[in-house]
Structure 1
Amino acid sequence: MTTIRHPTAQSPGSVLGAAPDVTESAAAYRATGGYADAAGPDELLRHLEASGLRGRGGAGFPAAVKLRAVRERGGAPVVVANGEEGEPGSVKDRWLLRARPHLVLDGLVHAAAMTGAVRGYVYLSDPEAGARVRRALAEHPSPLPVEVVETAHTYVAGEESAVVRRIDGGPALPTAKPPRPFEKGVGGAPTLVANVETLARIALTAARPGLRERIADTTLVTLSGGTTGAVLTEVPYGVPLRTLAALQGTPDAAGALMGGLFGGLVDARALDLPLEPDALAAAGTALGCGAMRFLAAGTCPVSVAADAVGHLAAESARQCGVCVSGTGAIRDALDALAAGSAGPDTAARLHRWSQGLPGRGACGLLDAAAYTAASLLRAFPDLVPHHLDLPCAACAARPQAGAPGRLTVAVPEVMDVAVSATAPAEATATPTARSPLPALKGTP
């Protein structure tokens, strides 16, 4: 089960909100300042530029730059709320669509106003989230025509060109770039594809521009690892990774798998790094989608790397030959290491692939596989030679290679207001599991 942890002192600029385990109604959202216009489109764009808000989809690109790029193309732009969460270790986007659909829709409308968009889409793969978004649109009809588009849940389905392709009626598979969606997207129109948490922070900034820095410098994170349940929480930039490991229940972590499957492995020394995109990038890792899997005592990084690349290989779109062969080769090498049956040239081959494969696929999946291998060699250089003759105890206990679900985190339960309104009192009196978050030191 995934537990929702919330700060003891609720901030009016919080995406997590005051009741993260209940779907927020339109009336409740309006009561806290939602659907407000404290800042017009031009002023809001200036606030977003001044705050430095980064996209929360994984790349961390400045939100205002993407908005301006679409706006400056002219024509009749399109805006898309991207809630397709392909990273197995992340649950924030699906939770957000289930719990706070009005916050996302409000942000979508503001994004449309800033770009001049004439229509919008909410793109997702979670049927439960889709139902709650549709009900939210019925509760509070949008001034912008908005359509909910569902897709199958895959690792690559949330890549922005795959989003455009699926909305246009094709498969949710990436395409070669250029053009990028801001140049030619849905129906050939300039298109903003924005992560749902990014849009949520845009809506909060529109309602409370005086809190713009706090809104921009706080983020949702999904924490998992060991035998302790996963945690979804909201924290300020600057919090040490070690503090988050303790919060999740892995205080003795030997390292972490960062950014979902895109930030690679880091060792225990890296846990003293602050949760801040630039600081993490400078250290050779990434915040990505905010998912961190901490390596508990008795967990072998070789097995974690093998599981990560195994997942990527299984999720390949299979439309780029180099991706199919490259991810497969890295997977097989890591599986052999975990089994203690790798050849003496395994480290050299992993190093060669990690250097030569990035950038050769239509999306970032191959890059993620190559970087996972590179990070294992860099963060845990002694482990590879020690696994050549026989597996360590942790790897020996690893389930059969290819077994699904080892990196998957469950979405927190969010009580449906439509159900709770008619359910007996005793059935609605106990919310889903959540507990207060200890005070965390970091950028406010």
Structure 2
Amino acid sequence: MTGVHSLLPAGQPGLLVSPVFGAEPYRGVEDLARYLAAGGYAPLTARDRFLDLIAAVGLRGRGGAGFPAAVKLRAVRDAPGRPVVVANGEEGEPGSVKDRWLLRHRPHLILDGLRLAAAMTGAEHGVVYLSDPRAEQAVRHALAERPAGPRVVVVRTDQAYVAGEETAVVRRIEGGPALPTAKPPRPFEAGVGGAPTLVANVETLARIAVMHACPDVAPALAGAHLVTVSGPGGSAAALIEVPAGTHLKVPADLCGHGMAEAVLLGGMFGGLYGPGWTDLPLDHDALKAAGRALGCGALHFLRPGDCPVALATEATAYLKAQSARQCGVCVSGTGALAGTLAALARGETGAGPTQQLRRWSRQLPGRGACGLLDAAARIVATLLTHFPDRLDAHRGSGCPDCTDEAPDDGRRFAVPVP
């Protein structure tokens, strides 16, 4: 199964009814007339009341961290200076397509969300930040035909895992490289040009725009998530909107992954999960309690017989290659994790390196300027937790999936945009 699908109560697979996807998701780029007919760009008459609604329904950011959207909006609004708002569409995670799909197909929805965020924070200047050429074309066309609103510019960057991190976004907008900077200050304190800056994921802005047009369904919209489902080599890939608390087995069954041995949860950030993955709910708090993370909502499944050690080896090799190389601990940490895991995967080591991996996976999180090192450590830690027997089986003799040099370009996890 490919394409986009909604599992919201109003719809069913194959018969899409979703305010976020729109009524006609396969008709190409949504133009202004269609968006206005759906209630778009309506005046915001009570910005504080609308912000209270966002807080009341518990909308969280969809960039990966799941931070409460209302808290972030209020922090930017209340900081001294004239704010800047940024629609962050740089989808560095190779297994995710939700942001590119929204920018390509519903650019007015994103611009409307940016307009509302500007009104709630008092910003007069907005930026759409992206790396996808087709998305850029759609956004520029939508900007040319939209109604009057805040001044908005488009800034394009090169796709990279760290390029969407909020301080990297600010740095690139200001003309520098898309690499993270030390914190504090956070962008909400001092971002673009030193002004308080809201860096909001495009799905977050899309949900804000839909909530404004359809306030009666705001609670359901706030809890739902766009998830990208895929398997080896992008097989059985789909972009699915799931209601809050949906168990992982539901989208897996829909895409033919119901018998999977394991899942890489939340893209690179959430880690591996083995037996019992079917009962995991797609909910930030529930996953955090289980020591996992939803991240950007990318779900990569392993078929029965696929080697989780090979997957972890490729993931850590990719993260090592994507390091910004600004933090010594990240350079050495990702290198140690990837190199040791690769040697172990090829059957070249004994029991000692397993203990090293266990120690590093506990010591490294939180020591880098961004979440890349944390992601690498979590992948290794969860491999050790869920598949210790598979690691033991590699000692002294590798397996067919692990004998070749692991590619570091993320090709295993890449998914085509529907």
TM-score if structure 1 supplies the norm length?
0.89
Question: What does residue 258 of structure 1 align with?
Answer: 265
Flag the 1:181–1:38 CA change in 2: closer, same or farther, 3 A: closer
Query: Which AA in structure 2 matches 1:133?
Result: V
Q: Which residue in 2 is equivalent to 1:246?
A: 253
Q: 1:402 is matched with which residue?
A: 407
Aligned: 1:25 with 2:19: no
Q: Distance in 2 between matches of 1:237 and 1:226?
A: 26
The corresponding residue for 1:169 is: 175
Aligned partner of 2:77 among 71, 87, 90: 71
Please say which of residues 382-391 and 403-412 is displaced more in the overlay. 403-412
Contact 1:156 1:173 (8 Å CA) reproduced: yes
| Matches of 1:289 and 1:270, distance apart in 2 | 18
Residue 38 of structure 1 contacts residue 208 of structure 1 at CA under 8 Å; is this kept in 2?
Answer: no
Match of 1:361 among 360, 364, 368: 368
1:183 aligns to what? 189
Q: Any idea what the Cα deviations from partners look like across 1:77-134, whole Å, max 9, x if unmatched?
A: 0000000011111010011100100000000000000001110000000111001100
Q: Aligned pair in 2 of structure 1 residues 41, 407: CA closer, same or farther (>3 Å)?
A: farther
Distance 1:353-1:142 versus aligned 2 partners, 3 A rule: farther
Q: Which residue of 1 aligns with 2:416?
A: 411
Identity %: 59
CA distance in 2, matches of 1:366, 1:220: 25
Q: Please give the per-residue CA displacement for 1:259-283, whole angstroms capped at 9, x wherever unaligned.
A: 1100000012122111111111111
1:16 partnered with 2:21: yes
Q: Distance in 1 between matches of 2:93 and 2:82?
A: 32
| Distance in 2 separating the partners of 1:11 and 1:45 | 29
Question: Does structure 2 retain, via aligned residues, the 8 Å contact 1:92–1:232?
Answer: yes
1:419 counterpart residue number: none
Cα 1:5–1:208 change in 2 (3 A) is closer
Classify the secondary structure of the residue corresponding to 1:229.
coil
C-alpha deviation, 1:13, in angstroms: 5.7
What is aligned with 2:3?
A: 3
Give the distance between the partners of 1:41 and 1:29, measured in 2 at CA.
21
The correspondence for 2:54, drawn from 10, 29, 48, is 48
**2:353 equivalent to 1:311:** no
- Equivalent pairs counted in the alignment come to 411
How do residues 34-433 of structure 1 correspond to structure 2 at under 5 angstroms?
34-37=40-43, 40-226=46-232, 228-396=235-403, 399-402=404-407, 404-413=409-418
State how far apart, in whole Å, the 1-side matches of 2:45 and 2:393 are: 59
User: Which amino acid is the alignment partner of residue 4 of structure 1?
Assistant: V
Letter in 1 for 2:351: P
Write the distance in 2 (CA, Å) between the matches of 1:23 and 1:258.
Answer: 30
Structure 2 distance, partners of 1:212, 1:291, is 23
Q: After superposition, give the CA deviation of every residue in 1:400-424 in whole Å (9 maximum; x if it has no partner).
A: 32253433333324xxxxxxxxxxx
CA distance in 2, matches of 1:169, 1:150: 11
Shift of residue 171 of structure 1? Answer: 0.7
Deviation per CA, 1:35-75, whole angstroms, max 9, x where unpaired? 11366311110100000000000000000000000011032
Encode CA deviations 1:354-401: one digit per residue, 9 max, x unaligned: 1111111111111111111111111112222221111234434xx532
CA distance in 1, matches of 2:156, 2:87: 12
For 1:328, give the aligned amino acid. Answer: G
TM-score (norm 2): 0.95
Greater RCO, 1 or 2 (C-alpha within 8 Å, sep 6+)? 1
* Aligned-partner SS, 1:395: coil
Q: Cα deviations across residues 309-329 of structure 1 (Å, max 9, x unaligned)? A: 111001011111111111011
**What SS class does the counterpart of residue 411 from structure 1 fall into?**
coil
Task: Report how far residue 15 of structure 1 moved.
Answer: 1.1
Aligned residue for 1:407, secondary structure, equals helix
Task: Look up the SS of the partner of 1:268 in the other structure.
Answer: coil
Q: Which runs of 5+ in 2 are unaligned?
A: none
Equivalent position amino acid for 1:229 in 2 = A
Q: Give the Cα–Cα distance (whole angstroms) in 2 for the partners of residues 171 and 284 of structure 1.
A: 33
State the Cα distance separating 1:179 from its structure 2 match.
Answer: 0.3
**Does structure 1 retain, via aligned residues, the 8 Å contact 2:3–2:238?**
yes
Contact 1:2-1:410 at 8 Å conserved across structures: no
Q: Distance in 1 between matches of 2:357 and 2:148?
A: 51
Q: Tell me the SS of whatever aligns to 2:167.
A: helix
Instruction: Answer whether contact 2:334 2:373 (CA < 8 A) is retained.
Output: yes
CA distance in 1, matches of 2:44, 2:169: 31
Q: Deviation at 1:12?
A: 6.8
**C-alpha distance in 2, partners of 1:350/1:251?**
30
RMSD: 1.7
Residue type of the partner of 1:247? L
- Residues 1:12 and 1:30: Cα distance change in structure 2 (over 3 Å): farther
For 1:289-323, what per-residue CA distance to the aligned partner results, in whole angstroms no more than 9, with x for missing partners? 00010111121111111111111001011111111
Q: 1:112-158 CA deviation, whole Å, 9 max, x = no partner?
A: 00001110000000111001100000011441000000001100000
Shift of 1:3: 2.5
Q: Which residue of 2 aligns with 1:433?
A: none
Amino acid across the alignment from 1:99: H
| Residue ranges of structure 1 left out of the alignment (5+ in a row) | 414-444
Task: Please tell me whether the aligned partners of residues 37 and 206 of structure 1 are also in contact (alpha carbons under 8 angstroms).
Answer: no
